[in-house]
Amino acid sequence: GLMMASNKGVKNIIQLLLVEGSADVNATCSDGWTSLMYCCQHGHTECMKILLDHSADVKVRDNEGNTE
């Protein structure tokens, strides 16, 4: 869902999931990564903005203590 779209930089799906699908913008995967972390890793700046506009938490740390 949201993490896959964030990883791939598919902004229309990210928007759809957040607005109509009520996806959890701060959900984490088994490694502790959030959708925002995936966007940052791949340089998807427009997607980052969408996530931040939906209150993505920039202070979340992954399982290794990184914020990416």
User: What pLDDT digit, counting tens, does each position of 16-58 carry?
Assistant: 999 998 899 999 999 999 999 999 999 999 999 999 999 999 9
Does residue 68 surpass a pLDDT of 80?
Answer: no
Spatial separation of the C-alpha atoms in residues 60 and 37, rounded to whole Å = 9
Domain 1-54, architecture per CATH:
Alpha Horseshoe (1.25)
Does residue 3 surpass a pLDDT of 90?
Answer: yes
Give residue 10's pLDDT band: very low, low, confident or very high (50, 70, 90): very high
Spatial separation of the C-alpha atoms in residues 29 and 38, rounded to whole Å = 11
